[in-house]
């Protein structure tokens, strides 16, 4: 299935022909042993991605459902949650937790910057927190959080570390077995969706729990959820012929295929590829006089939030790009109209990004902003040529 447009938004992202082919296979019954084998393989590959032999869940839903699963299965009403936010999507944990009667404190970074770890240390001294949430890459700002510094701080305070990987999983390291600064300083929960760096259509909520996080669920007498209660899904994840709720059969086909692509590429190579894409696209756009919101040392490899030069109309810019088959996203909150967001993750290719650079240059010229497309392409190609991508 040919992609008629280049979907370079923060998600959904371009889907490969192999994944489309898998998605279009004949639907099996959800308890068919043949489907159960596919489902089980997909779950096992999820554990491999997160380097864990604990528990992983792949169910019908979105990243928002996975966020809810992470919270309701670890933190109970009246307990405290600390939200470390690098933008709009980090903030989403606030109303989500409050909906379940959880006490919430928040540390918010200035958009485009990371939270100061010292501020986190000081806040953790103020209260006893059951868990701390961090968004690995915030889709609104293009900031990658400094988890290697945050994890040991959180774990020393005795809290669970919950990582929102929606815009990072399969492009950045999210290793549940790795100790960050200490053997016991590990990620406890990582959650994501299917439609970003994994490179398949939306529709799956994906989440993995460490043994410590599972123990936290076992200590809760009950949770304010039914569909989101991992205990109701555990038997299905262990034995997919079991039934709790009908799984999205064709999406599981697609997910198994996408996970094979991810793991066959290898995470080391995949991480490097995404780092190169991010650096290359930002250098190209800087050549047009466009500035990334996040400085390079905190910028994400999966998407970039790009500030417009003076005088560029956001809606018109994106409309003219779309006419050329390049789809980018507007900015959120106070940046709406002042910036756009471009995704460079998953199945995105250098050819797609080069086309985007060319058309962005054309649109900028059409809107009266003088640019040199050749200079931008040179800046882009220098990064990828050096790294042989």
- Sorted by where each starts, the structural domains of the chain and their CATH numbers stand as 17-264 (3.40.640.10), 266-386 (3.90.1150.10)
How far, in Å, are 22, 155, 381 from residue 49 at the CA level?
20, 22, 30
Tell me: pLDDT of 2 over 80.
no
Residue 17: both structure tokens together? 């022909």
Query: With the C-alpha atoms ordered 195, 217, 154, 50, is the resulting torsion angle positive or negative?
Result: negative
Residue 124's pLDDT is 98
Tens digits of residue pLDDT in 231-282: 999 999 999 999 999 999 999 999 999 999 999 999 999 999 999 999 999 9
d(CA 83, CA 91): 7
Tell me: pLDDT of 205 over 70.
yes
Give the CB-side neighbour count of residue 293, counting CA atoms within 13 A.
Answer: 30
Tens digits of residue pLDDT in 140-192: 999 999 999 999 999 999 999 999 999 999 999 999 999 998 899 999 999 99
Tens digits of residue pLDDT in 117-151: 999 999 999 999 999 999 999 999 999 999 999 99
Residue 57: both structure tokens together? 């869940």
Tell me: pLDDT of 388 over 90.
no
d(CA 76, CA 131): 10
Average pLDDT over residues 218-241: 96
| Average pLDDT of the chain to the nearest whole number | 96
pTM more than 0.85: yes
Residue 299: both structure tokens together? 């910028």
The answer to whether 19 touches 254, Cβ cutoff 8 Å, is yes
Residue 97's pLDDT is 98
Rg (CA), the chain: 21
d(CA 261, CA 111): 33
Query: Is 34 annotated as a binding-site member?
Result: no
Q: Which of 203, 161, 207 is nearest to 52 (CA)?
A: 207
Tens digits of residue pLDDT in 103-116: 999 999 999 999 99
Report residue 210's pLDDT band, with 50, 70 and 90 as the boundaries.
very high
Report residue 1's pLDDT band, with 50, 70 and 90 as the boundaries.
low
Q: Which of 33, 281, 14, 238 is nearest to 142 (CA)?
A: 281
Degrees to nearest 5, angle at CA 342 with 340 and 346: 160
d(CA 168, CA 175): 12
Beta strands at 103-108 and 80-85: parallel, antiparallel or unpaired: parallel
Average pLDDT over residues 2-29: 94
**Residue in this structure with the two tokens 């076992």, named with its chain if needed:** 218
Report residue 88's pLDDT band, with 50, 70 and 90 as the boundaries.
very high
């Amino acid at each position: 299935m040919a992609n008629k447009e280049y979907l370079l938004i923060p998600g959904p992202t371009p889907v490969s022909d192999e994944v489309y082919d898998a998605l279009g296979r004949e639907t099996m019954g959800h308890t068919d042993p043949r489907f159960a084998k596919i489902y089980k393989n997909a779950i096992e590959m999820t554990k491999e991605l997160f380097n864990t032999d604990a528990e992983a869940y792949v169910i019908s839903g979105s990243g928002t459902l996975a966020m809810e699963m992470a919270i309701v299965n670890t933190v109970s009403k009246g307990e405290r949650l600390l939200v470390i936010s690098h933008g709009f999507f980090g903030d989403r944990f606030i109303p989500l937790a409050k909906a379940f009667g959880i006490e919430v404190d928040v540390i918010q970074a200035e958009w485009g910057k990371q939270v100061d770890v010292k501020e986190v240390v000081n806040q953790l001294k103020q209260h006893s927190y059951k868990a701390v949430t961090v968004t690995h890459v915030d889709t609104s700002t293009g900031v990658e959080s400094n988890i290697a510094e945050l994890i040991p701080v959180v774990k020393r305070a005795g809290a669970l570390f919950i990582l929102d990987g929606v815009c990072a999983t399969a492009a950045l390291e999210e290793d549940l077995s790795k100790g960050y600064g200490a053997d016991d300083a590990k990620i406890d929960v990582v959650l994501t969706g299917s439609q970003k760096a994994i490179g398949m259509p939306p529709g799956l909520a994906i989440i993995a729990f460490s043994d410590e996080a599972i123990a936290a669920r076992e200590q809760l007498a009950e949770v304010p959820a039914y569909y989101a209660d991992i205990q109701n899904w555990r038997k299905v994840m262990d034995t997919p012929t079991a039934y709790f709720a009908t799984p999205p059969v064709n999406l599981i086909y697609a997910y198994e295929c996408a996970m094979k692509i991810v793991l066959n590429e290898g995470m080391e190579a995949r991480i490097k590829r995404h780092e190169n894409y991010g650096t290359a696209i930002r250098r190209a756009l800087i050549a047009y006089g466009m500035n990334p919101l996040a400085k390079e040392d905190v910028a994400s490899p999966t998407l970039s939030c790009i500030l417009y030069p003076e005088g560029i109309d956001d809606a018109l810019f994106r409309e003219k790009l779309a006419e050329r088959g390049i789809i980018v996203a507007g900015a959120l909150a106070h940046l709406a109209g002042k910036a756009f967001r471009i995704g460079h993750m998953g199945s995105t290719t250098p050819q797609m990004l080069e086309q985007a650079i060319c058309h962005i240059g054309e649109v900028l010229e059409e809107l009266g902003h003088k640019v040199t497309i050749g200079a931008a392409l040179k800046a882009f190609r220098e990064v990828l040529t050096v790294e042989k991508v």
